[in-house]
Amino acid sequence: MEPYLQEFHPPARLLLGPGPSNVSPRVLQAMTAPVLGYLDPHFARVMDDIRAMLRLVFQTGNRLTLPVSGTGSAGMEAALGNVLEPGDTLVVGVNGFFGERLTQIGERCGARVVQVQAPWGRPLDPEAVAAELRKNKRVKAVAVVHAETSTGVLNPVQEVARVAREHDALTIVDAVTSLGGIEVAVDQWGVDVSFSCSQKCLGCPPGLAPITLGPRAEEVLGQRKTPPHSWYLDLNLTQRYWSQNLSYHHTPPTSMLYGLREGLRAILEEGLQARFRRHWRNGAALHAGLEALGLGLFAQQGYRLPVLTSVRIPDGLNDDKVRSALLNEYNIEIGRGQGAMAGKIWRIGLMGENSRPSAVFSLLSALEQVLPREGFEVAKGESVAAAQRVLAEGDGSVAK
C-alpha cells in the first residue's frame, strides 16, 4: 500500500524549538467544531471575539486589528506591503535572520531599505536608528524585530518607537516571538504597526498572523497612491470583511480561527501579567540550568529572551547528533541555528504551554545524558538543581 494511503500517527514531541510550540488540547478540540459559512451570524461572533481579544493581547485600542489568513511571514508582508509604496524609504534594524527578512520583503515592496546593524546576539542601538533618521530625509517607517528568533535577543522596541516618532516615521514591530509571552504594549510604546503569529506564545497551530495598525498607519493606508502589490494581503480589502459589513474578500480559515479564539481565551483566563511572569520565570530557570551544564548563552546579558534561548554549541560537539538524540530518544525538539549561526548555536523555545518547569527539567535532564556521550562532560544533577533554585526564588526576584 502506498504510504499516503495509510493512517498517520505522529509522535507526541515536546516542541522546544523556535516554534511551532505544543498546542493545548482545548485549542485542538475547538478546531473540530462544525465549520460555519463566512456570512453566518454565529461566525460573526467568532470574528468579533477574536478582534476584541487581540486588542487586549496587543494592549491596543486599534480599530484595525485582525488575524491575517497566513503564517507570521504573511503578517510581515502585510505590515510592510500595506504601509510602503515604491520609492519609500524604510529603516530596518538588523541583528539577526528576521531583520534580514524585513529587509528582503521591504525591497520587494519597492522601498529603499536602509539597514541599521548590530552584531547577532547583541541588541539594536536606538541611537544608531536615530542617526539614520537624521541622515535620511522623509523616512516612511522604521521596522524592527522585538524578539529576534534567530539569536534570542530582546530589542529595545520602545526606545526605537520613540526616536521614530520624533522623526515622524511609523514604527513597525515584528512581535512574532514575543506576543503572548512577554509584554507587547502597542499603544503605550507608540507602535504604529505590529504583527505576530499563532504558533508561538499564543499557543495555537501555525497558520494565522494577528496584525494591528494604529491611526497613523491607517491614515497612510487611506492615502496610498497605488494599491498594495498583494491583493490577498491588502488590509483595506480585508478589513471590510472583518468590520461590520462582512463584504466578501476571501474565505477565512474557519477552523484555525476557532483555535485562535480558544487560545486567546486561555491567555486572558491566565491573565497577561501572570503569563508574562510565568515566561520570565521559566526562562530564567532554563538559563541557570544551561549555564550549570557548562554551556554558554549566546545573547548578551540583560537582553536575553525568556521565550527563546540561544546556546553556544561547545567546540567539537556534533550539532546534528545532539539534536537527533534529543528528538529520537527523548521526543524533544530543539532548534538549529539559522543563517550565519547554523552549527554554532541551538535555539530553545519555552513558549505558551511549554513555558513550564517540567519542560525545563525534561530538557536539562536529557542534555545531561546526551552531551557526555558526545564528548562534553557535565556535572550530573546540577543543572536541574540550578533551575529549581531559580524557580524557588519565586516571581519577585526574577529580573526582567
Grid cell locating 341:
549561526
Q: Are 299 and 153 in contact (CB under 8 A)?
A: yes
Closest CB to a copy of itself among residues 46, 292: 46
Closest CB to a copy of itself among residues 227, 343: 227
Rounded to whole angstroms, how far apart are CA atoms 340 and 230? 30
Least separation, in Å, of the C-beta of 260 and a copy of itself? 11
Rounded to whole angstroms, how far apart are CA atoms 111 and 172? 14
Other Cβ atoms less than 10 A from the Cβ of 41: the count is 9
Closest CB to a copy of itself among residues 68, 133: 68
Closest CB to a copy of itself among residues 18, 283: 18
Least separation, in Å, of the C-beta of 321 and a copy of itself? 15
Please choose, from the candidates 130, 127, 171, 124, the residue with its C-alpha nearest in 3D space to the C-alpha of residue 148. 124
Least separation, in Å, of the C-beta of 50 and a copy of itself? 8
Least separation, in Å, of the C-beta of 383 and a copy of itself? 23
Please choose, from the candidates 176, 171, 167, 189, the residue with its C-alpha nearest in 3D space to the C-alpha of residue 149. 176
Rounded to whole angstroms, how far apart are CA atoms 123 and 97? 13
Least separation, in Å, of the C-beta of 65 and a copy of itself? 13
Closest CB to a copy of itself among residues 358, 397: 358
Least separation, in Å, of the C-beta of 128 and a copy of itself? 26
Inter-CA distances, 335 with 155, 299, 310, Å: 21, 15, 9
Closest CB to a copy of itself among residues 1, 399: 1
DSSP string, 58-82: HT---SEEEEESS-HHHHHHHHHHH
Instruction: Identify any residues that bridge with 90 across adjacent strands, giving them in sequence order.
Output: 113, 141
Please choose, from the candidates 303, 10, 3, 342, the residue with its C-alpha nearest in 3D space to the C-alpha of residue 178. 303
Least separation, in Å, of the C-beta of 390 and a copy of itself? 27
Closest CB to a copy of itself among residues 104, 244: 104
Closest CB to a copy of itself among residues 53, 172: 53
Rounded to whole angstroms, how far apart are CA atoms 198 and 179? 9
Helices (H), 84-214: 97-108, 126-135, 157-166, 186-189
Closest CB to a copy of itself among residues 250, 389: 250
Rounded to whole angstroms, how far apart are CA atoms 194 and 89? 18
Least separation, in Å, of the C-beta of 288 and a copy of itself? 25
Q: Which residues are CB-neighbours of 148 under 8 A, at least 6 positions away?
A: 95, 96, 97, 98, 99, 154, 155, 177
Least separation, in Å, of the C-beta of 250 and a copy of itself? 4
